[in-house]
Amino acid sequence: MIYLDYNATTPLDPRVLEAMLPWFTEKFGNAASRPHRFGAEARDAVETARAEAAALIGADPEEIAWTSGATESDNLAIKGIAAAAKDRNHIVTIATEHRAVLDPCERLESSGFRISVLGVERDGSLSLGRLEGALTDRTLLVSAMHANNETGVLHPIREIGKLCRARGVYFHTDATQTYGKEAIDVEADCIDLLSASAHKFCGPKGVGLLYLRKRGPRVRCEQLFHGGGHERGFRSGTLNVPGIVGFGAAVALVGQDREKEQARIRSLRDRLERSLRSEIGGVETNGDPARRLATTANLAFDGVDADALMKALPDLAMSSSAACTSARLQPSYVLGAMGGSEERIRGSLRFSIGRFTSEADIDAAVRELSQEVRRQRKAPRA
């Protein structure tokens, strides 16, 4: 089996698992328990991981709140900011955002907030002029992802952040696909809130973070969960200590060799695209081919049905849309927002590459895909 769906989730790095295992057994304390040693030991582990997670993006450890993952973080950022708002009721986001951003915005719209959902260019990029034109003196928040989960297209978060800061608007970025992969500096990028999830960079599922700026400006955000006041009151609930330890361990690993790892992954992605074009032709990239994640190749295959291709190759893990969209059995709204035709969307597949992908995996995937694409193109159409 060949796994090329790293944007959906990543395999847990064995070194991360090794760091986590003691916290399931003999080190089982509750980090909120005081004052005994079991609780103190767990609390120290949580704070060590918090410091690792903050350092990766240039934040203060006190600005990191642990969550169950980026979906919760996105909801806390958007709904929490809205609940704390006093005189502003306008939120701006992008049509290609993850559903974890779009759905909370839709819920807020039904309760009286005004939501502006900006379109993108045909290559998936955001026009800064369009964003600037959407801001008003009532704008509370801009939520713009760092990289799109389907196409890998990178948005210029530093320019977006500076624009928001100049207008006194909070800036939230869903960095689920870039945390641990792309350079992020919350100060230089003028980011006020940031979401991330461990399982996107070879950490465990079920743990994520929300960065909330505490000064210049201080983010005012209401909690969604009540019942204990954990995480400086932002997120009540017993902390997932093994998961948080795993988050910290995964961060330590990406901090060691991020640039080298991303360069290797980029070369594999380029090998995949180059080989497919050479073998079968009729393959085009969806999204800006230059400004995108090293991990991601979203390719449109002429004369091919992507769902049929996936069914014919069950041992090759790839996707025709994001995992959240696949769960709803819907075509890619991201490619639709980019102006893709129905035929192009139907023939598009996302391949995402990661730490444990090898050249042999890429070459085997190319062979299997080429054979099946040729078969489909020769088959008579219904």
Residues that are catalytic: 324
Cα–Cα distances (Å) from 169 to 85, 142, 165, 208, in that order, read 12, 7, 6, 25
Cα(325)–Cα(300) distance, integer angstroms? 18
Q: Which of 149, 96, 150, 100 is nearest to 125 (CA)?
A: 96
Cα(314)–Cα(61) distance, integer angstroms? 43
Per the CB < 8 A criterion, the answer to whether 65 and 46 are in contact is no
Query: Tokens 């461990």 map to which residue?
Result: 198
Cα(308)–Cα(381) distance, integer angstroms? 13
Per the CB < 8 A criterion, the answer to whether 5 and 318 are in contact is yes
Cα(179)–Cα(182) distance, integer angstroms? 6
Tokens of 94: 């992008």
